[in-house]
C-alpha cells in the first residue's frame, strides 16, 4: 500500500503553561514492511531528533515562553508491504529485559486463571495467535471505557478495552509464560473503522539469539500486514507513547486529536 497519513494533536489550557518538555515518537522508521517516502513534523518550536534506548526515532522540544494552546502535527507518505517478522540484530534492549512486567502489564490472579488453558506452552506463532484470539473474545473492543492509564488487570476486570488494553493483557501473559514481548504503537488503515487509526499491537521474541521478533495484532487476532504502520516500541504504552511530556502551570487541559489515513495506490 501507499498510504498518506496526517496526525494532528491540539492541547488547550485553562491557564498559561510556563514551561514544558514534549517527547514525540511519531516518525515511522524504515523497517521490514514499511518505508517512509516523505515525513514531516510541525511543532511550536524546533525539535531535536535522536534515538531512544529502543532505537525509536524521538523528537524533543522545550517551551519556556508561556502559552495556552499547542498544536503538534505529523504528516507524510508511507509505503507498506505484508511483513510480520523483524530481525533486530542490534539488541539495543535485551529481550530478557522485556520479560519484566510493568504496572500497566502485570496480570492479576483472575486474569491468569482465566487464560490458563490458552497460555502458550511453547514459544510459537500458532500458540500466540491462539492466545490473541482468546483475548479478543474475552475483552470486546469497547471505546470510551478505559483510558491511557488503565492496567491489564483493570481492563480484564471490566471485560472491556481497546487495542492498548489488548496489547497490555497479551504482554502480561507472554511475560508470565517467559516469552519476551514488547508494546508497539502505530497506525492502522481501515476505511470502515476510523477509530482504529491510532493503533497498538505487540512483538514477541521468537528467537532471542537471532533477534527474531514476530508482530501480532491482538485486536484483530492476526499477524500484522500492510495495513499497519509502526511508530515505536517499548515495555508498555507509556514507554512507546506517540506524545508525552511534562509541564509547569496550565491548570485543566483539553486534548483533541485526529488521524486521517488515505490509500494513494
3-state secondary structure 208-243: CCCCEEEEEECCCCEECCCCEEEEEEECCHHHHCCE
Could you tell me the domains of the chain?
A: 2-79+243-263 (2.60.40.2250), 85-240 (3.10.620.30)
**CA proximity to 203, closest of 221, 186, 217, 220:** 217
Cα distances from 236 to residues 132, 137, 201, in angstroms, run 17, 22, 10
Grid-cell match 506452552, residue found: 121
Strands, E, within 25-103: which ranges?
Answer: 34-42, 48-51, 57-63, 67-80, 85-87
**pTM for this predicted structure:** 0.94
* pLDDT more than 90, % of the chain: 90
Mean per-residue pLDDT over the chain, rounded: 94
Round to whole Å and give the CA distance between 203 and 193. 23
Round to whole Å and give the CA distance between 128 and 130. 5
Q: Using an 8 Å Cβ cutoff, are 201 and 138 in contact?
A: no
Helix, strand, coil percentages for the chain (3-state, nearest 5): 20, 45, 35
How do residues 3-42 score in pLDDT, each as one tens digit?
999 999 999 999 999 999 999 999 999 999 999 999 999 9
**CA proximity to 59, closest of 243, 183, 229:** 243
> Is residue 99 pLDDT above 70, yes or no?
yes
Number of Cβ atoms within 10 Å of the Cβ of 198: 20
Round to whole Å and give the CA distance between 190 and 208. 33
How do residues 203-254 score in pLDDT, each as one tens digit?
999 999 888 999 999 999 999 999 999 999 999 999 999 999 999 999 999 9
Interval 63-73 mean pLDDT: 96
The pLDDT confidence band at residue 92, using thresholds 50, 70 and 90, is confident
Q: Which three cell numbers stand for residue 83?
A: 511483513
Amino acid at each position: 500500500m501507499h498510504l498518506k497519513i496526517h496526525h494532528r494533536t491540539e492541547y488547550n489550557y485553562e491557564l498559561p503553561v510556563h514551561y514544558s518538555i514534549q517527547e514525540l515518537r511519531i516518525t515511522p522508521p524504515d523497517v521490514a514492511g514499511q518505508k517512509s517516502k516523505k515525513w514531516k513534523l510541525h511543532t511550536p518550536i524546533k525539535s531535536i531528533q535522536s534515538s531512544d534506548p529502543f532505537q525509536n526515532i524521538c523528537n524533543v522540544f522545550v517551551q519556556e515562553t508561556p502559552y495556552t494552546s499547542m498544536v503538534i502535527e505529523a504528516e507524510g507518505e508511507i509505503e507498506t508491504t505484508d511483513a510480520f517478522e523483524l530481525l533486530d540484530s542490534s539488541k539495543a534492549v535485551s529481550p530478557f529485559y522485556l520479560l519484566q512486567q510493568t504496572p500497566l502489564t502485570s496480570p492479576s490472579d483472575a486474569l491468569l486463571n482465566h487464560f490458563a488453558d490458552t497460555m502458550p506452552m511453547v514459544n510459537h506463532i500458532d500458540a500466540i495467535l491462539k492466545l490473541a484470539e482468546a483475548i479478543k473474545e474475552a475483552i470486546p473492543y469497547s471505546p470510551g471505557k478505559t483510558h491511557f492509564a488503565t492496567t491489564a488487570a483493570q481492563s480484564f476486570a471490566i471485560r472491556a478495552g481497546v487495542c492498548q488494553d489488548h496489547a497490555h493483557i497479551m504482554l502480561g501473559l507472554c511475560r508470565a509464560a517467559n516469552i519476551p514481548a514488547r508494546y508497539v504503537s502505530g497506525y492502522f488503515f481501515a476505511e470502515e473503522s476510523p477509530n482504529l487509526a491510532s493503533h497498538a499491537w505487540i512483538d514477541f521474541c521468537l528467537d532471542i539469539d537471532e533477534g527474531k521478533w514476530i508482530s501480532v495484532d491482538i485486536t484483530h487476532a492476526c499477524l500484522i500486514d500492510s495495513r499497519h504502520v509502526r511508530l515505536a516500541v517499548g515495555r508498555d504504552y507509556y514507554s512507546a507513547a506517540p506524545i508525552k511530556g511534562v509541564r509547569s502551570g496550565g491548570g485543566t487541559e483539553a486534548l483533541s486529536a485526529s488521524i486521517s489515513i488515505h490509500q494513494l495506490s
